[in-house]
Structure 1
Amino acid sequence: MRVGFLLLVLAFGAYWVIKNRHSFADAAQRITFWPIAGALVAGALGAWSGVPAWRSVLAGLGSPLPLKDAQRVFLTGQLGKYIPGGVWTVVAQARLAKDLDVPTTRSATASLMSILLSVVTAASMGALCLGIAGRQILGDYGWTLWLVLPLVALLHPAVLVWAGRVVSRITRRNVPLQRIPARNLVIAAAWSIGGQVVNGLQFFLLVGMVGGTYPNPLLAIGLFSTATAVGIVVIFASAGAGPRELLLAAGLNPLMPPGSAALVVLLSRAVLTVVDLVLAGIALRAGRRTTTSR
């Protein structure tokens, strides 16, 4: 089913581009160097922000790691999100952390809690920013933003643990969420929010470049954060591919022609994929150098 879904996403994306090929080609002529470079920098900062967030959660669970080690485990393990299934990131990070004497259950717990924090912060940022600047996108559906409010309660350590127990009962699988100090949770959430902001700025730069007019930054941040939360929740889509792009394209519909929206969405996916690969390569290389020097 997961492979079929991925093929369906690719087929739908190809059809969308072919159908709007003329406006897509016109929009492609507006691609310039500096907005792409800025998007790559913003995307890199957004991807890296997950490192201190995950590291803070892991430290709260009792296994503090040096920043270099945390970078190697988190950034390399993040490549698991490109495999459909939604669990490979957790598996990869747990396996890599085990080499650093971190118990597998503890690192898996840190990864699961980090993912949950990403959903909460992304959904919250999306609701806040779209509530301020997204009237032209939301229209009569602005009331849906209120549905995000209960998620904020998950930022409380006790509520987070309770949510893990509920998920365990529903899925009949052990979701080992443990209570961590509120300070560690706040630090992790702050880094996650910062990551949502700079990832939204990455999208903002691409929208402005292709569309010719830069929108309200809050609109870009809100739209991208909301799409990110949806992409994480839909676990059978590798790296959120499909649901995230569909939501972004729909959100851009009032702002630009379909071909331009498709180009922005594809460029954003390409930028973030390149960023993930480069950061993982750098972290892995740095980790090998540290091991060799020891």
Structure 2
Amino acid sequence: MNLVKRLLGLVRKPAVKWLFLAVAVGLAVYAVWSTWDDLVDAAGRLSVATLAGSAVLTVAYVLCTLVAWRAVLADLGSPLPGRAAVAVFGVSQIGKYVPGGVWNVVAAAELGATHRIPRRRSLAAMAVAVLVSVVSGAVVGTVCLPFVSSGTLGGWTWAAVAAAVLLAVLLLPPVLTRVIGLAFRLARREPLEKPLSWRGLGATALWSVIGWLFAGAQVWVLATGLGLDATPRTFALAVGGYALAWVVGFLIILVPAGAGAREGVLLAVMGAAMPHAELLLVALLSRVLMTLVDLGLAGIGGALARGSRRAVPAAEPRSSQP
């Protein structure tokens, strides 16, 4: 137990997180350098239409994550207008690129406070939205990946379906509310002010799944632009591969936004479907597009932040009459 505590304490140190980030960036640079000629050749085969379509799909994915988080927040009692939601969510997402894994949550709580959202509720909403993303991503990945096999799927299919069903049970409001309550107790935090509803959690899960389809479609469009066969099976591979890659990248908290880990999983999952250089370019372009859209949304959110704040009514003057 003492060894575990020491390891956790070491992992939480900022210097360790920056070290892992440096290692991830260094490995990425080496991967690009070692296949530079092939990458340049592959990049020359990408059309402007392919890049534009991928960019549109990336925007759709990020907006789905925004709508999913907004649905949780409304379900917990703090509905936000569209402009305010973009302002809070957009700016807060920059925090996920800082080592530590919590800065986007902290930023959302502070920005939400300017819109009269209790910080505890903001923290709970972001925690629920992230948990739904992780669980739904695992479910989507588990469901999609078995269907990329060229042979008979047999028992693996049934094992995957069973695992997906078990994971999906976590998305049921009574189950997820208890899981979150347990997590808050372990973290010595106050529980949710009210349980999650079927409607609110259902909307969050639905938008999360739609988001995974858009994210996978982004990877699929890039990959088909570099020679991957455009078939339903390869689409399932791209969707399932990206969803699992994001989940793994999220769970590795030592690097911001799953840098390196996400790309590594995507390369491993889709490695048999297309040449390494082309797939590496797909992974890198996917990361670049996601980052650019996050930065763009943050810029829009920052521009809207001042105008979207709810006006705080002035206190009424006290009357001298009894």
How does the TM-score come out when normalised to structure 2? 0.83
Within a 5 Å distance, the mapping from 1:188-199 to structure 2 comes to 188-199=204-215
**In 2: Cα distance, 1:5 partner to 1:74 partner:** 27
- Name the CA distance, whole Å, in 2 between partners of 1:96 and 1:278: 18
In the aligned structure 1, how far is the partner of 2:57 from the partner of 2:25?
26
CA distance in 1, matches of 2:311, 2:178: 44
Q: Which residue of 1 aligns with 2:5?
A: none
SS of the residue 2:226 aligns to: helix
Aligned partner of residue 46 in structure 2, secondary structure: coil
Within the candidate set 156, 170, 178, 2:172 is matched to: 156
Distance 1:58 1:159 in 2: 19
Once residues 278 and 230 of structure 1 are traced to their aligned partners in structure 2, the CA distance between those partners, rounded to angstroms, is 25
**Which aligned pairs between 1:248-267 and structure 2 lie closer than 5 A?**
248-267=266-285
Aligned identity (percent) is 36
Give the Cα separation in 2 of the matches to 1:41 and 1:165. 37
| Aligned twin of 1:210 | 226
Q: Secondary structure at the match of 1:155?
A: coil
Alignment partner, residue 11 of structure 2: none
| Inter-partner Cα distance in structure 1 for 2:80 and 2:209 | 22
**1:44 is aligned with what amino acid?**
V
- Aligned residue pairs total 292
Do 1:43 and 1:272's aligned partners in 2 also have CA atoms closer than 8 Å?
yes
Offset of residue 75 of structure 1: 1.6
**1:192 & 1:48 partners in 2: Cα distance?**
10
1:270 positional shift: 0.3
Once the two structures are superposed, residues 48-96 of structure 1 have per-residue CA deviations (whole angstroms, 9 ceiling, x without a partner) of 1122211111111111111211121112111111111111111010000
Higher helix share: 1
Residue pairs, 1:16-165, within 5 angstroms? 16-134=31-149, 143=159, 146-165=162-181
8 Å Cα contact 1:84/1:237 also seen in 2: yes
RMSD between aligned residues: 2.5
- In the alignment, which of 275, 282, 292 is matched to residue 300 of structure 2? 282
CA spacing shift, 1:269–1:291, aligned 2, 3 Å: same
Structure 1 unmatched runs, 5+: none
Output the amino acid matched with 1:84: P
1:151-208 C-alpha deviation (Å, 9 max, x unpaired):
2112112211222244346x64537455211110001111111111111111111111
Counterpart in the other structure of 2:244: 226
| Structure 2 runs not aligned, ≥5 long | 1-15, 313-322
CA distance in 2, matches of 1:237, 1:180: 31
Cα-to-partner distance string for 1:126-168 (whole Å, 9 max, x where unaligned) = 11121223558x9997656754442211211221122224434
